Amino acid sequence: MSERPRVWVSQPLFADVLARLGEHFEVEATREVTRHEPAAVNAILRRMDGALVTLNDPIGAEQIAGAQRLRAIANVGVGYNNLDIAALSAAGILASNTPDVLTETTADFGFALMMAAARRMSEAERWLRDGQWQRWSFDSLLGADVHGATLAILGMGRIGQAIARRATGFGMRTLYHNRSRLPAAVEAECKAQYVGFDELLARADHLVLVLPYSPQSHHLIDAAALAKLRPHATLTNIARGGIVDEDALCDALEHDRLGAAGLDVYEGEPRLNPRLLQQRRVVLTPHIASGSLATRRAMVALAVDNLIAALGFGPRAGDPPS
Ligand code: DGY
């Protein structure tokens, strides 16, 4: 009987999913959330046929050097900026991600975060817990309306479209900007109008970032972009932290050039820019937009399916026929 493929699981996983993996593979599982050093990952991957990794795990040339057996990396997440696709492709290693299964859950969260920022929910809760609430008053903690406002979506993939569909129920006007314009039928279904980047910023009441992170989108929302937003506007980021220049964001908030922000992702996460923690008008969450139990289970299940499909597939791409 031939040896079963060996698979590394980089972060702790649901027990039943590990058991399912164990039906197909020899599994080396990580028991605690770990920030693995590149050299340690490299040493592990040299023994593996496949790996199930998350956005915590950068996988590039350094990690896969000499990993002769490695045929597949399954990333749990739709974003895959932690993977160096060029290095993996050059080595003939298949890479997969988990789109679709998290779309609606992530859109729910993006919408909720935008509303929480607009209505100052975190600030209000901190104020209440601090015992500062003396009596109801007309003018405390006033926020911005979401219903009837202009929603500006930057990045109109599946999640952006799902957010736009939610906005129709709130009577919002939805503008979007994307690498390419959507087909007219999709625009009609989402009731969303395509505009240029500058116009998107200038007209936004609530700007939501849902675009992929890449060298092109690094610090796309910098001081110059923030200056194009109106002072009452809110900024919500559920994409990747590196898209926003966090110091410029703090400057804008501190000088009342931005209404509020809702952030689920951070440039150096899990380390936070200390200035963000000082801001009153921000809602900060720890990268949980896809974090419903059902969706996280679906993401992991899809990643496992991807791994099974990839490793059942025969030799590594580019290997000579046996
Ligand atoms: C993703 O899927 O890319 C998220 O950021 C993690 O859920």
In this structure, how many other beta carbons lie within 10 angstroms of the beta carbon of residue 78? 20
For the segment 185-209, the average pLDDT, to the nearest whole number, is 98
Which amino acid is residue 10, in one-letter code?
S
Q: How far is the CA of 92 from the centre of ligand 1 (A)?
A: 25
The ipTM of this complex is 0.93
Distances (CA, A) of 243 to 154, 195, 239: 11, 20, 8
Structure tokens at 262: 């809702």
For all residues of the chain together, what is the average pLDDT? 96
**Is there a domain that residue 322 lies in?**
no
Q: pLDDT tens-digit profile of 140-162?
A: 999 999 999 999 999 999 999 99
Q: pLDDT tens-digit profile of 245-304?
A: 999 999 999 999 999 999 999 999 999 999 999 999 999 999 999 999 999 999 999 999
Instruction: Give percent of the chain above pLDDT 90.
Output: 95
| Cα–Cα distance measured from residue 98 to residue 107, given in angstroms and rounded to the nearest whole number | 15
* pLDDT at position 316 over 80: no
Residues 84 and 169 in one domain: no
Q: How far is the CA of 239 from the centre of ligand 1 (A)?
A: 8
**Is there a domain that residue 142 lies in?**
yes
- Using a 6 Å cutoff on CB, does residue 303 contact ligand 1? no
**Is there a domain that residue 318 lies in?**
no
| Cα–Cα distance measured from residue 101 to residue 99, given in angstroms and rounded to the nearest whole number | 6
Q: Is 232 a catalytic residue?
A: no
Residues 160 and 47 in one domain: no
Structure tokens at 247: 């110091």
| Cα–Cα distance measured from residue 285 to residue 125, given in angstroms and rounded to the nearest whole number | 14
Residues 136 and 71 in one domain: no
Residues 117 and 202 in one domain: yes
| Cα–Cα distance measured from residue 256 to residue 254, given in angstroms and rounded to the nearest whole number | 6
Q: pLDDT tens-digit profile of 220-256?
A: 999 999 999 999 999 999 999 999 999 999 999 999 9
**Is there a domain that residue 82 lies in?**
yes
Structure tokens at 136: 């109801």
Q: Which residue, chain included where needed, has tokens 């000082």?
A: 278
CB 80 within 8 Å of CB 97: yes
Residues 156 and 227 in one domain: yes
CB 6 within 8 Å of CB 21: no
pTM of this structure: 0.94
- Using a 6 Å cutoff on CB, does residue 63 contact ligand 1? no
What's the domain count of the chain? 2
CB 214 within 8 Å of CB 234: no
Residues 17 and 112 in one domain: no
* pLDDT at position 313 over 90: no
- Using a 6 Å cutoff on CB, does residue 81 contact ligand 1? no
> Closest ligand 1 atom to the C-alpha of 77?
2
Which amino acid is residue 222, in one-letter code?
D
CATH of the domain at 129: 3.40.50.720
CB 258 within 8 Å of CB 252: yes
Per-residue confidence (pLDDT) for residue 312, from 0 to 100: 86
Per-residue confidence (pLDDT) for residue 3, from 0 to 100: 85
**Is there a domain that residue 264 lies in?**
yes
> Closest ligand 1 atom to the C-alpha of 296?
7
**Is there a domain that residue 76 lies in?**
yes
| Cα–Cα distance measured from residue 122 to residue 283, given in angstroms and rounded to the nearest whole number | 6
Residue with CA at minimum distance from ligand 1 atom 4 = 77
- Using a 6 Å cutoff on CB, does residue 103 contact ligand 1? no
* Confidence at 322, pLDDT banded by 50, 70, 90: very low
| Structural domain that includes position 87 | 6-99+294-311
Q: pLDDT tens-digit profile of 14-45?
A: 999 999 999 999 999 999 999 999 999 999 99
Q: How many helices (H) and strands (E) does the chain have?
A: 13, 12
